[in-house]
Chains A and B, each alone.
Chain A
């Protein structure tokens, strides 16, 4: 990514999840859309306040699972019927009940890897650099006990002074600018 200059957003720090959720709801009501909460554990109310409801992780997982079962079953059939037919005690070459067990295992294998890697991909991880890490107080609490709301500069409603005034009306511990 080319280096970018300027302000990434305005970051407010809170002590409790309730304060964070309230501030997020108010920001949404005030018309801010490009914003994100940072919490040390999943806060569902924050996601609701952000109006973020649907994830595509289950769909990725389903597609992975279907790919797994198809791949395994077709592979087994091809191997044991055409590529390397073995006559074991006169059993039919296409003895599909026996093929189900590996196909079932690969369903789970593919679906599991799709869910995990799909989650990371949708989240844009790994991403070792992110502007919020530049905020001096972020790494002291975001993964321990503090709750952050970041209103991002790309939002059309964002303005340095007004956004700061808006965030300062809440009992925030601090409101800081985040550089790119």
Chain B
């Protein structure tokens, strides 16, 4: 993107704002038209990049793991998994919590950062929200298929039936149903409402009849009327305000699944905040995992800049520190509570037969990220951030593994101790959901606007309204 204005010192990066010394949120030289062309061009092009087909096929191929795994599961029952007594909760709950945690960053970016007027979020919120929805799809699969007879999973909903059987609202499983279904519904509606103006743009720019029809229907006839915009903004703010406590509550409710059980290692009051922080931590890691290849592949470096990556890395540093505090507090309370069940659980978690998992978790979640993310140089190093985001995602999976498995397999009575070993079916369904996520994401970047055009337009300097209709911004307008 060509920069405008006086010649700059070539040693100065054009992406660095000379006034603040910070990386720019949008590369200089953009105007309404160029932003629209760039984002809408990805969707409306007739030349789909070959790499996209490749990615879609890989994602779809891996997603077959879910299809095959679930088919065998439905035929044979949950016995094909590694779950047994005492390790009655295995991969299903681990993956459920992991996936739903990943979703949280999307809502955080779209809701909390909107309320705090963090305009840098505008470039990344759309695909972060898409990530949320696809992560919730993957997460929702697990509780659905783990109930033993998944075709009866709808019994969890309160609906009038001839058996006169109703759900039990003192059970965290029923709470989960409400929390996750609300979360999915609100995320989808927030996502769709956010896209309506962009669908209007795509409808007006589309040339192929099918695309015109498709985006025309989705845009609901949006025409950018000012009265509409005011109501729209009001609804967006309300949805953000509603999603903010929702983010906090969903993972809190999920932590209640553990915390209301009287089991050493689970029965902890720190779980809700610590789960929420961990969710945001892994979610931002996943946004980085997605944003870095996408901005490279679609040449989006001028809209998703190093500033975004830097800011996200800072959020990871903050939430990672909260998670580290949570780990510290678990160990401290195991000692300070003077409950020898707790103490044994913690000792066993660290030095027992599955101690390796605990130390992997400490290494990948705490040791590596929290020592390196302090360095600004590393925070804007794209390759490093990508590798780090993969490391943190691994670490957060191990966190759930450690919490679930090491608390269960050696509980109160030594006579009922056992172990837990995942089977190939566990792995197949888990890896399959990653493929499903990739597949859905590739469809999203091709057919929907992955960066909100109307919100990017609001960040451009041309939006400044001068009194009296003075035409001060026309010059920058002409530099397309």
Contacts and interface: CB of A to CB of B under 8 A. Distances in A.
Interface string B351-391: 00000000000000000000000000000000000000000
Contacts of A170: 469
Interface in A58-100: 58, 61, 65, 72, 75-76, 79-80, 83-84, 86, 88, 91, 95, 98-99
Secondary structure at the A interface, as helix, strand, loop or mixed, is: helix
B75 to A, nearest CB: 32
A145 B31 contact: yes
A38 B223 contact: yes
A170 B469 CA distance: 9
B41 to A, nearest CB: 12
B315 interface: no
Interface residues of B, number: 75
B204 to A, nearest CB: 4
B468 A22 contact: yes
B56 to A, nearest CB: 29
Contact of A171 (B174, B225, B471, B473): B471
Nearest to B183: A105
Contact of A79 (B33, B158, B463, B473): B158
Nearest to A144: B36
Contacts of B458: 41-42
B158 A112 contact: no
Interface stretch (A1-9, A114-122, A156-164): A114-122
A115 B36 contact: no
Interface string B197-240: 10011011100000000001100111111111111111100110
B193 interface: yes
B170 interface: yes
Contacts of A171: 469, 471
Contacts of A127: 220-221
A42 B229 contact: yes
Interface in B425-466: 454-455, 457-458, 462-466
Interface string A129-156: 1101100001110111100000000000
A15 B186 CA distance: 37
B46 interface: no
A58 B241 CA distance: 11
Contacts of B166: 79-80, 83-84
Interface stretch (B2-10, B85-93, B245-253, B301-309): B245-253
15 contacts: A17-B462, A39-B226, A42-B230, A42-B232, A57-B238, A112-B190, A123-B228, A125-B221, A125-B222, A126-B220, A140-B204, A142-B223, A143-B200, A171-B469, A171-B471
Interface of A: 15-19, 21-23, 36-47, 50, 52, 55, 57-58, 61, 65, 72, 75-76, 79-80, 83-84, 86, 88, 91, 95, 98-99, 101-102, 104-106, 108-109, 111-113, 115-116, 118-120, 122-123, 125-130, 132-133, 138-140, 142-145, 170-171
Closest 6 CB pairs of A and B: A22-B469, A145-B32, A119-B235, A126-B220, A42-B229, A84-B166
Given A37-B225, A144-B36, 4 more contacts: A17-B463, A42-B230, A88-B170, A144-B32
